[in-house]
Amino acid sequence: DAGVIQSPRHEVTEMGQEVTLRCKPISGHNSLFWYRQTMMRGLELLIYFNNNVPIDDSGMPEDRFSAKMPNASFSTLKIQPSEPRDSAVYFCASSLYRRTPGFEQPQHFGDGTRLSIL
């Protein structure tokens, strides 16, 4: 089975430009997560979706960040306008969630997008 697929793998762009990161979760998974990883702050959860609905976006740093999940097989994380401090590795992860005690599936991560804002 294909894992979580993220694109692009690397992105270099100039400050002020719009950046769009893409994610295709594992087929059949109903939860999707966007994380940001930096040396200073480690792994931070930005937002997560369940059944395409955003459940918690409290980790989104500011209004310049937005995320969408138009269907079960695709999600985007957009930064507009981008700033140098947004440089980080962005991970997408997916899992299967069921509201059944004792049932849990771990999150599977994509390979990440390394974003560099000049």
> Interface with other proteins includes 6 (CB under 8 A)?
no
Q: At closest approach, how far in Å is the CB of 87 from other proteins?
A: 14
Query: Is residue 70 near other proteins by the rule CB under 8 A?
Result: no
The nearer residue to other proteins, 33 or 65, going by C-beta atoms, is 33
| Residue 1 · residue 26 · CB < 8 Å | yes
Main-chain phi, psi angles of 76, to 5 degrees: -130, 150
Segment contacting other proteins by CB under 8 A, of 14-22, 64-72, 75-83, 90-98:
90-98
Phi, psi of 79 (to 5 degrees): -125, 120
CA distance linking residue 106 with residue 80, whole number of Å: 31
The verdict on 111 binding other proteins (CB under 8 A) reads yes
Instruction: Answer for the pair 89, 112: CB distance below 8 angstroms, yes or no.
Output: yes
Query: Quick one: 14 or 56, whose CB is closer to other proteins?
Result: 56
